[in-house]
């Protein structure tokens, strides 16, 4: 037997084994909170067991132990890259439960801040995913653009991430004066960055080879797993909550839904890049169409009745005559400077804390403040339940709120969009190479606060 035959025979008799490899939670690409136990045959992934739960925050349980207004800061910590969308979704769920209709201007403001948040989320996702594939320059460019947009968010809310901007029945304050100017300038710079990213990535041979044909999922499988958002739209499905279940004023604004066809990492990248363009288009249209008026609920208060007449009718027991009426009061009861702050005042007493001028200026405002913050009081929606979906940066973000008539929610459930995608991660990884794990996981845009609720 010659040497070549001996070597071949020896190789055939060698014992081969699959290797189990732990990737994460300490691996940089796993964001510190995901563990994948991969079964490898060489560099090919034969099986993958995905572990989550390293950042369990207890959002749902905490929401059942504070009043409805007190949940707002917790929503900021769900998808902490686009917290304003979380604010809007929770508020609209509770408003649906209570039966509050917010003013039209408030709807437009919510759309504007939501779309700015969506752009910051996509910039973070695409930039971080590109950096993990070696495109560090793109990451720096996109973080630069995100800074411009976070400055806008700070102008509106006073914070960058922990915004707590929305309120049940509105938003905490109107947009700053001349806000459209800085917004247009920030969009101009953002469009430059998106164009630079396209020139650096979209036709880059290394980037395209790493992205095309990896992390593929069919439209049927994506729907079966409950996947929504850019991940689903990359497969060719046009489902978008803003179009299919329109809320706020999305049905009054013209925009296109970005879709792909292959359902791979490259299509998900292209969908997000186009969605940023569409979000800027939505904001610009909202500024053109936005009416004036209040930004908090101010329901019809009935016919005005002078205070003295109301007292006389009440003494006679004629409750029907005063029911639903609005007492005409003097400057003392109206509150100092109330007319100058109409945008932050409301007559809706079931949900809103009173303006500070009322809290500190008259006994009625102080009593109302206490009735909303004291234990055992607060907002009391009727007994019932409500589910409200909004289009988050990762897909359908839904809030399900159950009320038993108390000042606290009986049950709060959140449909985090990236949770459904993570359930399919094992299917996406099996059959690919170990190197494909990084771009595939990056395209999921896994946000720990949203995933581990």
Give residue 350's pLDDT: 57
Give residue 347's pLDDT: 45
In this prediction, the residues of the chain whose per-residue pLDDT falls under 70 are 1-12, 14, 298-358, 361, 374-378
Give residue 101's pLDDT: 85
103 belongs to a structural domain? yes
Global pTM?
0.83
How many other CB atoms are found less than 10 A from the CB of residue 43?
11
Per this entry, what is the length of the chain?
A: 453
Query: Which tokens hold the place of 72?
Result: 């707002």
Give residue 338's pLDDT: 45
CA-to-CA distance for 150 and 120, rounded, in angstroms?
Answer: 8
Give residue 146's pLDDT: 95
Give residue 241's pLDDT: 96
Can you give the CATH number for the domain in which 429 is found?
A: 1.10.645.10
Dump pLDDT digits (tens) for 224-272: 999 999 999 999 999 999 999 999 999 999 999 999 999 999 999 999 9
318 belongs to a structural domain? no
Give residue 286's pLDDT: 96
397 belongs to a structural domain? yes
Sheet containing 19-23: which strands, arranged edge to edge?
Answer: 19-23, 35-41, 44-51
Give residue 341's pLDDT: 40
* Cα distances (Å, whole numbers) of residue 262 to 24, 212, 268, 408: 28, 9, 9, 45
Give residue 323's pLDDT: 56
CA-to-CA distance for 222 and 441, rounded, in angstroms?
Answer: 15
Contact 48, 425 (CB under 8 A): yes
Give residue 148's pLDDT: 95
317 belongs to a structural domain? no
Give residue 90's pLDDT: 96
Per the structure, the count of domains in the chain is: 1
Give residue 69's pLDDT: 84
Strand (E) positions, 100-222?
A: 166-167, 170-171
186 belongs to a structural domain? yes
213 belongs to a structural domain? yes
Give residue 369's pLDDT: 76
237 belongs to a structural domain? yes
Give residue 16's pLDDT: 73
Q: What residue numbers bound the domain in which 242 lies?
A: 68-295+382-451
Backbone angles phi, psi at 182, to 5 degrees: -60, -30
């Amino acid at each position: 037997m010659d040497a070549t035959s001996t070597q071949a025979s020896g190789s055939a008799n060698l014992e081969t084994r699959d290797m189990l490899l732990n990737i994460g939670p300490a691996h940089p690409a796993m964001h510190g909170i995901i563990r994948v136990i991969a079964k490898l045959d060489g560099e090919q992934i034969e099986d993958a067991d995905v572990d989550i739960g390293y950042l369990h925050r207890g959002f749902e349980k905490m929401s059942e132990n504070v009043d409805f207004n007190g949940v707002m800061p917790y929503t900021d910590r769900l998808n902490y890259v686009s917290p304003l969308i979380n604010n809007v979704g929770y508020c609209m769920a509770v408003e649906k439960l209570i039966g509050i209709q917010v003013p039209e201007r408030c709807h437009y403001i919510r759309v504007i801040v939501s779309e700015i948040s969506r752009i910051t989320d996509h910039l973070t996702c695409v930039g971080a995913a590109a950096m993990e594939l070696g495109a560090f320059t793109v990451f720096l460019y996109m973080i630069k653009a995100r800074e411009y947009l976070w400055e806008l968010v700070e102008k509106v809310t006073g914070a960058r991430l922990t915004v707590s901007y929305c309120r049940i029945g509105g938003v905490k304050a109107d947009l700053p004066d001349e806000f459209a100017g800085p917004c247009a300038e920030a969009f101009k710079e953002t469009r430059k960055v998106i164009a630079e990213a396209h020139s650096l990535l979209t036709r880059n041979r290394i980037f395209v080879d790493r992205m095309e044909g990896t992390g593929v999922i069919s439209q049927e499988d994506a729907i079966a797993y409950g996947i929504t958002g850019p991940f689903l739209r990359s497969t060719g499905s046009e489902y978008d909550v803003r179009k299919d279940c329109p809320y706020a004023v999305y049905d009054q604004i013209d925009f296109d839904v970005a879709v792909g066809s292959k359902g791979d990492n490259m299509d998900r990248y292209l969908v997000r890049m186009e969605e940023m363009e569409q979000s800027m288009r939505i904001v610009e249209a909202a500024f053109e169409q936005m009416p004036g008026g209040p930004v908090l609920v101010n329901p019809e208060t009935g016919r005005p009745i002078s205070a003295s007449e109301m007292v006389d009718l009440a003494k006679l027991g004629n409750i029907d005559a005063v029911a639903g009426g609005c007492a005409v009061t003097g400057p003392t009861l109206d509150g100092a400077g109330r007319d100058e702050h109409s945008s932050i005042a409301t007559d809706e007493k079931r949900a809103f804390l009173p303006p500070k001028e009322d809290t500190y200026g008259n006994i009625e405002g102080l009593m109302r403040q206490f009735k909303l913050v004291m234990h055992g009081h607060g907002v009391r929606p009727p007994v019932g339940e409500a589910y409200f979906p909004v289009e988050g940066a990762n897909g359908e973000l839904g809030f399900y709120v159950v009320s038993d008539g108390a000042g606290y929610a009986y049950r709060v459930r959140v449909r985090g969009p990236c949770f459904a995608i993570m359930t399919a991660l094992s299917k996406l990884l099996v059959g690919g190479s170990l190197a494909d794990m990084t771009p595939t996981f990056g395209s999921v845009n896994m946000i720990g606060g949203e995933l581990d609720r």
